[in-house]
């Protein structure tokens, strides 16, 4: 069923995930392998749990009720944590140190002058869901933008990223490319263009160190040359995805499965 072009504020994350559509997370996996994107199930880790907590503290306070803190050591701690997880299957359980670390990282980002200016922008909204169809191939598309400001100096997109190592230009360069953050931004832009025939005036990534005591922050804007390259790759992923949907064949490899490698006689 086609998506109706829409920009929705306040849509619960669970409902957003239940709706059909190729989103940025799927496309980043698709860049690795169509089979990986089709079969991969998200598995949380200490790092992703911390990132979600920082995300909640900075732009989505309504979701803080999904987080709880219990000791990781001491008599009965494991039993208590297992019991909590059984009662809250969709919740996120943090250790005291992780929760303290998350609070410090969130406060550091909130003090960042660029982030403060964005959050004070006219018409700012958070957790904004977009739904549309690809204009050429017809498959449903969706996106969930961390921060969307419409008004003032135009349309601005912001995305919060927790970062598990010191912020350096070299590490950011490779991680933005390898983790598909550039693909994520241009997918957001494409969805906005399809829905409203408009394009954002600025797209930025807001990084905060989540695993260092410094909790340094950085605003990163990709130049148009980089974004054009990302657009070129994104269009190819859209085309290949359309072929996969039509044929119901998703070639490639899937992490977590045994791999058979043919390396020849030169090893």
Flag whether pLDDT at 107 surpasses 80: yes
φ/ψ of residue 155, rounded to 5:
-95, 125
**125 Cβ contact partners less than 8 Å away, ≥ 6 residues apart:** 9, 147, 148, 149, 150
Residue 254 — pLDDT band, cuts 50, 70, 90?
confident
- Cβ atoms within 10 A of the Cβ of 200, count? 19
Q: What is the pLDDT of residue 185?
A: 98
CA–CA–CA angle 185, 186, 189 (5° rounding): 95
Q: What is the pLDDT of residue 256?
A: 67
Flag whether pLDDT at 267 surpasses 60: no
Helix axes 224-247, 181-196, angle to 10 degrees: 80
Flag whether pLDDT at 124 surpasses 80: yes
Q: What is the pLDDT of residues 52-85, one digit of tens each?
A: 999 999 999 999 999 999 988 888 899 999 999 9
Candidates 58, 23, 14; CA nearest to 184 is: 23
Return the percentage of the chain with pLDDT > 90, whole number. 80
Q: What is the pLDDT of residue 264?
A: 66
φ/ψ of residue 127, rounded to 5:
50, 60
Flag whether pLDDT at 130 surpasses 70: yes
Which domains, from first to last, does the chain contain? 6-42+104-247 (3.90.320.10)
- When pLDDT is averaged across residues 32-49 and rounded to a whole number, the result is 89
């Amino acid at each position: 069923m086609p998506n109706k072009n829409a920009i929705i504020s306040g849509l619960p994350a669970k409902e957003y995930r239940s709706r059909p559509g190729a989103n940025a997370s799927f496309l980043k996996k698709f860049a690795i392998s169509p089979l990986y994107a089709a079969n991969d199930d998200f598995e949380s880790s200490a790092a992703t749990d911390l990132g979600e907590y920082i995300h909640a503290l900075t732009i989505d306070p309504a979701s803080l009720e999904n987080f709880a803190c219990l000791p990781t050591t001491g008599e009965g701690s494991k039993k208590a944590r297992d019991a909590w997880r059984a009662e809250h299957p969709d919740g996120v359980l943090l250790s005291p140190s992780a929760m303290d670390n998350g609070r410090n990282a969130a406060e550091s980002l909130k003090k960042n002058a660029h982030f403060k200016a964005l959050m004070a922008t006219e018409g700012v909204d958070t957790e904004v869901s977009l739904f549309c169809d690809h204009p050429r191939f017809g498959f449903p598309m969706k996106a969930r933008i961390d921060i969307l400001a419409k008004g003032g100096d135009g349309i601005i997109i912001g995305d919060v990223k927790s970062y598990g190592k010191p912020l350096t230009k070299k590490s950011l360069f490779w991680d933005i490319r390898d983790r598909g953050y550039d693909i994520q931004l241009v997918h957001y832009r494409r969805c906005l263009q399809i829905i409203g025939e408009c394009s954002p005036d600025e797209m930025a990534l807001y990084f905060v160190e989540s695993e260092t005591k410094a909790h340094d922050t950085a605003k990163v804007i990709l130049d148009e040359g980089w974004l054009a390259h990302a657009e070129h790759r994104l269009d190819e992923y859209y085309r290949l995805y359309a072929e996969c949907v039509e044929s119901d064949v998703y070639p490639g490899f899937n992490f977590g499965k045994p791999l058979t490698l043919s390396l020849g006689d030169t090893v």
